[in-house]
Amino acid sequence: MRVSLRSQYSSFLYNLENTQSRLMELNTQASSQKRINQPSDDAIGAARILNYRSSLSAITQYQANIDTASGWLGLADESMTQVSTILSKLKALAEQGSTGTMTAPDRQAIAHEARQLFSQLVNLANTTYEGSSIFAGHKFDANAYAEALMVYDQDGNALGTATGSSTRSIMVQFLGDQGATAAVGGQDIDYRYSKDGGATWTTQTLGSVGPFALDLGGVSVALQEGYEVALSPASNTKISSGSWLTIAPTAMYMGDHESQSAVTYQGGNPVVTAVPVGGFSRSVEVQVVGGSIGGNIAYQYRLAGSSVWAPPTPVEVNTGVEEGRLETPYGAVRLAGPPGQGVTGLVLTVHADLTGVIQLGASINAVGKGVFPGDVMVRIDSAATIGSGTAISYSYSTDRGLSWSAGHSAENAGPDEALLLVPGGRLMLTERDGNGLLAENAQFVIHPQTARHNLEISAGQYVQINNIGSEIFGGYYENGAEPVFADSDVARNIFVSVGKLVAALENNDQQGCAAGLENLKVSQEYFSTQLASVGARENRLDVAGAVLAGLKLNQEERMSAIEDVDLASLLTDLSNQQLAYQTVLKSSSMIMRMSLVDYL
């Protein structure tokens, strides 16, 4: 067989390049310590490596989240432990104050310490982590609490908060003949107040023309028209006789809360809507008897189901700045509508424990009932009328409209109500002023009140890192006159219990100190359950962190088995390939030097 010089050159060049390429490949592996440096090295292995890297990246992020969560919860744990210590000290002070052998100066000395401990409680409730408030819900950039003054009567019933400031608790007595009564607004009422525990008094008169507010020397207490008080002479010093008010320190919660409330309308122009503001613990009905958006509005309110309106005569407020905000003891209602729009005849009910709904393209009554972890959007797929008997076709979305679950149908046989099942509960639709029209593509957004900040610590697993201060410390909501836990057990309210104790000590009230001791026992017991919740979340983070560490090690080992090179085998292959390359070079050069002339 004849072998041409051209074919020799081609063969030599191919063998040389092939051997050199393999040598360079081994050299790259030696440099990177990786068997797979590009997809062409091992396509299947490269795909598996990318999956492992994605998984490891997620694990790294989960570990970072756990580290952040540990910081938040660790600080909360430390702060709440200090609060528990302070509550124990306050219980000891209350026990001393309830002792019959204590004198007024003794209780006053104890009161100074109690006030300082109260201020420290407020400071701890305003603890921040890296500049973010840990007890204010989603309002990270503001303090959770601000010091305030609360008002309660001789029976301990809350009458809201006072405006102004005072470094001492204040006692108020309504003056008159023993056994006589008077109604605010019905006549002039004499009263006196003391800022030094009854040692000295200042007498004032509450007029019969509004606004009705007690002037207490830098502190003002608003009273409802019609509020009835029992009178007693100035010679009476027993709180058990006549009507008395006490103004004591407390704290106002300024953060987010998760108290759900929703509005339905029984009358009024559909262009006017109402939004609940504050933590409604009771359902309240509001009736507007006159006025317009941005102007003066006269209104009344009452507990849902009650037949008694408060105040008896509608109160008038100017809403030019507050956008139509109507105050009730359980929260406020903010009216929205075109400026100047009349609101006469508007009647609405704020339902506690129902979830608010935003309407787009409809003007009916809509509320959510259930436990909704987030916003749920509902879309009407075909026009219908509530109560018509025709089923309502609808779709819903839990990801803000990115994807929709379609093909759902709701019975519509009720006379004026339709129930649409959605994740977390139901959307309840009823007529408003006889209007039950559901236009095609009308949308409803079930919008729950949320205050929890959750971090993902593993796939699909979340942990709450912040805390809702009102659920831990109590106090008063920013809107409304009722303290937190008023509908269950107000003794759980730390700021109310401590404030009443401070007032009892400053006013030399032995029985008040004894009651304060019992309240503090309840407060601390409830607080211990909240502290345990923080500890449980910390323990969960420890377990999750250990699981992630083991999973990360396992993933890295499995990825290494695919990606990393075996150094011993690599060195052997590299040495062999070097020898092969040298052999190719030498044999090629020897063959190329051979010629027939050498044999002639």
What is the residue-wise DSSP string for 85-147?
A: HHHHHHHHHHHHHT-TT--HHHHHHHHHHHHHHHHHHHHHHT-EETTEESSBTT-TTS-SEEE
Collapsing DSSP to helix, strand or coil, 568 comes out as helix
Residues in CB range of 469: below 8 A, 6 or more apart: 125, 135, 136, 137, 144, 145, 253, 255, 475
CB 448 within 8 A of CB 368: yes
Q: How far apart are the first and last CA of the chain?
A: 22
> What parts of the chain have a pLDDT lower than 50?
322
- Dihedrals φ, ψ of 388, to 5°? -80, -15
Residues in CB range of 448: below 8 A, 6 or more apart: 258, 260, 355, 356, 368, 372, 373, 374, 375
pTM of the model: 0.83
Q: For residue 205, with 0-12 CB atoms within 10 Å meaning exposed, 13-18 middle and 19 or more buried, which class applies?
A: exposed
Question: Tokens 């910390």 belong to which residue?
Answer: 538
- Dihedrals φ, ψ of 214, to 5°? -80, 130
Please report the pLDDT score of residue 15 as a whole number. Answer: 66
Question: Tokens 């920013």 belong to which residue?
Answer: 478
Please report the pLDDT score of residue 591 as a whole number. Answer: 65
Q: For residue 174, with 0-12 CB atoms within 10 Å meaning exposed, 13-18 middle and 19 or more buried, which class applies?
A: buried
Residue 514, Cβ neighbours under 10 Å: how many? Answer: 16
Residues in CB range of 68: below 8 A, 6 or more apart: 455, 465
Domain 83-256+467-541 grouped into CATH 1.10.3470: no
Distance CA 216, CA 392 (A): 60
- Where are any strands of DSSP class E within 486-564? none
CB 188 within 8 A of CB 169: no
In angstroms, what CA-CA distances link 139 with 142, 466, 473?
6, 10, 16
Please report the pLDDT score of residue 339 as a whole number. Answer: 86
- Strands 228-230 and 219-222 turn out to be unpaired
Please report the pLDDT score of residue 21 as a whole number. Answer: 65
Please report the pLDDT score of residue 352 as a whole number. Answer: 92
Given strand 425-430, what is the order of strands in its sheet?
365-370, 425-430, 417-422
In angstroms, what CA-CA distances link 476 with 15, 239, 252, 503?
87, 25, 5, 17
Q: For residue 460, with 0-12 CB atoms within 10 Å meaning exposed, 13-18 middle and 19 or more buried, which class applies?
A: exposed
CB 378 within 8 A of CB 442: no
Collapsing DSSP to helix, strand or coil, 369 comes out as strand
Distance CA 557, CA 409 (A): 51
* Token representation of residue 509: 């009230």
Distance CA 160, CA 149 (A): 9
CB 261 within 8 A of CB 272: no
Residues in CB range of 151: below 8 A, 6 or more apart: 158, 159, 160, 161, 162, 221, 245, 246, 247
